[in-house]
Amino acid sequence: MIVDISADHPHFQYIGRFDRTDPQVPHFSWSGSCIRFRFFGSDLGIFLRHLPDDPEHTENVYIVIIDNNPPQLVHDVHEKNEYRLAENLPEAAHSVTIFRRTEAMCGVGIFEGIRLNAGGLLLSPPQLPQRKIEFIGDSITCGFGNEAASETEGFTAATEDGYRAFGAIASRKLDAEYRAICFSGRGVHRNYDGSRTGLLPELFEQIYPQSPQKWQFSQWQPDVAVVNLGTNDFANGIPEATEFIGDYSAFLGKIRVAYPAATIICLDGPMLSSDALSTCQHYIKQAVTIAEKNGDSNVFTFSLSTQGENGFGADWHPNVAQHEKNADELVAFFKEKLNW
């Protein structure tokens, strides 16, 4: 007989912010949310369900990696579905990673467990990396449109790959646990559309954007928090200095309260250019200076190279080649500044 194992089994490893109020149906929506496990057997199916936010974003996309085999894509739909991922594998121990490629605006995902062949067993989970990084940002951090062929394409879930966003790439190269708190169009002072509600500093406090439940920061503490915000604030003009610097400074203070021991790295790039870029860099440095004057010496700035020479993804966003380039730059900075 087949073996069904529900999501509340202690050998499932949840990486990211999951609402496990009902442990049999953990809910999640942040990009990069990850479920890892090991099993003994030859066949594997997973149970996923999707709660869309609106008619424009009707699916989530996941990468599933079994052992060292090429990633498989799972395009999740509304109803609970069993996705058959493997049959006739060697009857042995196998490792599995389920990684959410799409961001929170694509809706809430629900994991409901796995199905194994007769005699299959869920084994103890794999060991987590010792180092931990959280990336806090906007569409760039999400990997918005990074698989699109050109800037003329609009957003689709199919061309957003958080697994190949710069933060995820850099984390793997640094052998670090990766988490992301990111949402397209959001800023630290104002959003892309000019609104002042649902800013990233607000979303940072939530278990995921669609839930009013607050995240308990004591559950997980990163070694490094990487902030890449400002692109949306500057997208439609340069914001007033005092307001932006004040809001950015306040967010740095909020991050410090949440993560007392973490190194904070404030990024800019790769989408801004000209006066918007130089002014954003200046404002961020001013905010970091304020943090230093308030006694926080563990905050740094770093600039990612500006996009262009590698082409573009959807809606002028960085493509995978640019994400890889920026990831390499950030890895070099970690090694130089943090001796990783």
Confirm if 291 and 249 have CB atoms less than 8 A apart.
yes
Write out residues in the chain with pLDDT < 70, as ranges: 53-58, 77-80
Alpha helices in 51-146 (DSSP H): 139-142
Do 232 and 271 form a contact (C-beta atoms < 8 A)? Answer: no
- Would the pTM count as exceeding 0.85? yes
CB-CB neighbours of 259 under 10 Å: 19
* Bridge partner residues of 226 (DSSP): 135, 265
CA 152, CA 182: separation in Å to the nearest integer? 23
- pLDDT, tens digit, 9 for 90 and up, residues 70-116: 999 998 766 668 999 999 999 999 999 999 999 999 999 999 999 99
Going along the chain from its start, the domains and CATH numbers come out as: 3-123 (2.60.120.260), 131-338 (3.40.50.1110)
The identity of residue 306, as a single letter, is T
Pairing state between β 299-303 and 263-268: parallel
pLDDT tens across 212-259, in order?
A: 999 999 999 999 999 999 999 999 999 999 999 999 999 999 999 999
**270 preceded by a cis bond (ω within 30 of 0):** yes
Give me the amino acid identity at 3: V
Residues in the chain: 340
